[in-house]
Amino acid sequence: MTEASTTNSTQDEAAFNDDARRRVEELIEEEEGIHNRYAGMLAAFVTAAAVIMSLFHLYAAVEIVPAFRLRPIHVAFTLALVFLVFPAAKRFRHRLMWWDVIFALLTLAIAGYILYWGDLLGDRATIPTTLDQVVGVALILLILEANRRSSTWILPFIVALFLAYALFGPYLPEPWTHKGYEISRLTGALYMTLEGIFGVAIDVSSTLIILFTIFGAFLQYSGAGRFFLDFSFAAMGGKPSSSGRAVVMSSFLLGGPSGSGVATTVTIGAVAYPLLAKAGYGKEAAGGLLAAGGLGAIISPPVLGAAAFLIAEFLRISYLDVILMAAIPTLLFYLGIFIMVEIDARKFAMHAVKLEKHQRALDLAKRYWYHFISLVSIVFFMLLGYSPILSVFYATLVTALVSFLQSDSALIPYDWFRGRMPWIKGFWESGFIKALEGGSIGVLNVAATCASAGIIVGVVTLTGLGLKFSSIVLDYANSGAQSLASLWVMFGADRTPELLHAMKLLLTAFYTSLIVWIVGLAVPVTASYIICAVIAAPALIKLGVPDFAAHMFIFYYAVLSEVSPPTALSPFAAAAITGGGPYRTTLQCWKYCAPAFLVPFMFVLDPSGTGLLLGGSLKNLAQADWGAIALISVTAVIGILALAGGLQGWLLRRTNIPERWMLIVAGLALVYPTTTSDVIGISLVTLVLLMQKLRPEKSTAAA
């Protein structure tokens, strides 16, 4: 490549990135709210408030701050900053309106009221005063408005429906009816105790989610994210599947510490799409691959998505146990995408793309090796016995310190220490301050969602909706199981209790996945997980599914809802980058994700399936049957390969229609972790391989 062509290519790529960035920002604003961008003293004030919020939570990580103080302060910081950062409407953008100030001050006043009364507020939760009720109603309204601004109106609408359910229970038809609760009872339950608004969701948000968000911001501003991206692209090259492989690898490395699907998609997409286009990917196919890779960030250790922290809290287990449970499913998820990429390269005769502008992977690793320390430091500190909170605190500290090993990654420029920069301004504009600010600003959307989800959890607990809902799901599953068993008997099977239980469990899992998917159409992953964990998980647990497997099943299907409109933010962001159609890009993302997303059924359909979750804890892992874990993992890999081949219509070569359906049936059979289904699945895959080996090349037929 000549120097002139390289320059022109760089200019074209820069112009493309600017245009793509503008489209992505517009799309994200539609989904996550419109950000204000201030200047002068107002911008400095918002930055200072965000920095103080981060510093406070870092302090709370190493010093004991009682929950009845930490959680209200966290909510106060969140709501106040939301009202300053997110305008009430697009036409008020970049302007601080008087009502924004009123809302922010009212939030601080409510927090002051809660902190003033402290434990005494909880003592009178059953008989709140009139002022208590007014404060409670005001707080709920402020939370709903904050959610409307920072995301969309859908979640506040759902919260309002739950509140209406609590208020008007006596007027509802069976089986939804209940005695109903007055405003005094609702406010007492929702904000005057460490339940409801200040319950599990805000507890996790104030102690873990924000710390991991700060950690991610430190990684970003220390250059670790860029290193993972460059390293992935440098490590791949010279083969038709290289560009696709690089997307998968960089999504895995960058997504792990990010925990954000859309952030990973956008970061990688701006760099990777030109390479994917050169390799022969269409706009929608490239966008689907980028979105699928980015989506994996939500299920990838060590950070995962915000909902993963809630799993640890709901189950009262270590966050390290959650990381452990996510390890094999994450590898299977990316393996599924990787297989689809390899099939793409052969099916569509992709072109090899040479990555001239990138250094060798070995050279990058030698120079920036310390970024890998940042990536694994959290797990290292957990293995040493530190709590997740202390682990992420020390990992953030390690990231900040190792950034100074190279001048171009230092969070505070070397020239600042040498006195070659203005002392105050240089520090204020450094990556260190930007990381602290970014950590707080980045958590606002999630924290506001957690506050709203707390209202939902409070209503579900108060009204007993979770038990009602589980009973309804089980009744439907039992009725369907009876019908399926009758049909099964027609084929010569015995109508045994074991058969009925298996059918009931299968249908309950299917109904649960459908419920999670429907809820996830309207709300983010964190909210859909919380809602379904309290209303749907009990049904699976009643049928004998271990609680950790039930929660991981719901978590994974909450993630799956992220590729379904209207909340398909990652595919839509990828489409904005590639210029493809949003809905066609979403369908392509479904194609890449489909094989791995059948894996969660293996968690719940048979006890052996929990081997993919490594027993659910380090304690169980020590007593695990590694032979069974290896077997279930191998069958999962073969099942993913079969499904990928069936969906793509290609295995060793292009499949004909019978081969394609045989692969799909084999994949579905291998998802059900029993000996019989495994034998059927492996036999079908073997048969297809033999058929393709024996069939002459020229006689292959299109599917």
Distance CA(647)–CA(663), nearest Å, equals 9
Q: How confident is the model at residue 7 (pLDDT cuts 50, 70, 90)?
A: very low
The answer to whether 141 and 452 have CB atoms below 8 angstroms apart is no
Bridge partners of residue 260, in order along the sequence: none
Residue 239 has what pLDDT?
61
Question: CA 405, 408, 412 angle in degrees (round to 5)?
Answer: 75
Q: How confident is the model at residue 19 (pLDDT cuts 50, 70, 90)?
A: low
- The answer to which of 15-29, 37-51, 91-105, 402-416 has the lowest mean pLDDT is 15-29
**What average pLDDT is seen over the chain?**
81
Q: How confident is the model at residue 633 (pLDDT cuts 50, 70, 90)?
A: confident
Nearest to 434 by CA among 217, 141, 593: 217
**199 token code pair:** 């319950």
Residue 227 has what pLDDT?
79
Distance CA(192)–CA(212), nearest Å, equals 28
For 339, what's the count of Cα atoms within 13 Å in the CB-facing half-sphere?
Answer: 27
**601 token code pair:** 């059924």
Label residue 560 exposed, middle or buried (CB < 10 Å: 0-12, 13-18, 19+).
Answer: buried
Residue 521 has what pLDDT?
67
* Residue 112 clears pLDDT 60, i.e. is over it: yes
**363 token code pair:** 């050279």
Residues 265-289: tens digit of each pLDDT: 776 776 677 777 777 778 888 888 8
* Residue 6 clears pLDDT 60, i.e. is over it: no
Residue with tokens 């709590």: 387
Residue 698 has what pLDDT?
56
Q: How confident is the model at residue 357 (pLDDT cuts 50, 70, 90)?
A: low
Query: What is the dihedral sign for C-alpha 586, 575, 582, 650?
Result: negative
Question: CA 592, 597, 601 angle in degrees (round to 5)?
Answer: 160
The answer to whether 140 and 190 have CB atoms below 8 angstroms apart is yes
Three-class secondary structure assignment of 166-182: HHCHHHCCCCCCCCCCC
For 66, what's the count of Cα atoms within 13 Å in the CB-facing half-sphere?
Answer: 6
Nearest to 251 by CA among 292, 218, 307: 292
- The answer to which of 153-162, 236-245, 453-462 has the lowest mean pLDDT is 236-245
650: helix, strand or coil: strand
Residue 700 has what pLDDT?
42
Task: Find how far residue 455's CA is from the centre of its chain.
Answer: 21
Range with top average pLDDT, 73-77, 538-542, 579-583, 584-588:
73-77
- The answer to which of 22-31, 235-244, 260-269 has the lowest mean pLDDT is 22-31
User: Bigger pLDDT: 143 or 620?
Assistant: 143
Residue 525 has what pLDDT?
77
Residue 4 has what pLDDT?
41
Q: What's the mean pLDDT in 62-91?
A: 92
**99 token code pair:** 């009502």
Residue 13 has what pLDDT?
47
Residues 551-575: tens digit of each pLDDT: 989 888 888 777 766 556 678 777 7
Distance CA(246)–CA(363), nearest Å, equals 17
Residue 105 has what pLDDT?
96
**596 token code pair:** 């791995």
Q: What's the mean pLDDT in 619-637?
A: 80
* Residue 93 clears pLDDT 60, i.e. is over it: yes
- The answer to which of 98-102, 440-444, 460-464 has the lowest mean pLDDT is 460-464
Residue 259 has what pLDDT?
60
Residue 461 has what pLDDT?
82
The answer to whether 215 and 399 have CB atoms below 8 angstroms apart is yes
C-alpha radius of gyration, the chain, whole number: 26
User: Bigger pLDDT: 230 or 70?
Assistant: 70
Q: How large is the angle between the packed helices 210-221 and 388-402, nearest 10 degrees?
A: 10
Residues in the chain: 703
- The answer to which of 183-192, 222-231, 545-554 has the lowest mean pLDDT is 222-231
Nearest to 262 by CA among 583, 576, 600, 588: 576
**258 token code pair:** 């990010």
End-to-end CA distance of the chain: 39
Task: Find how far residue 275's CA is from the centre of its chain.
Answer: 26
Q: What's the mean pLDDT in 154-180?
A: 87
Distance CA(311)–CA(603), nearest Å, equals 15
63: helix, strand or coil: coil
Nearest to 147 by CA among 226, 100, 86: 86
Three-class secondary structure assignment of 466-507: HHHHHHHHHHHHHHHHHHHHHHHHCCCCCCCHHHHHHHHHHH
* Residue 238 clears pLDDT 60, i.e. is over it: no
Q: What's the mean pLDDT in 479-484?
A: 76
* Residue 49 clears pLDDT 90, i.e. is over it: yes
654: helix, strand or coil: strand
Q: How confident is the model at residue 644 (pLDDT cuts 50, 70, 90)?
A: confident
Residue 90 has what pLDDT?
81
Residue 379 has what pLDDT?
78
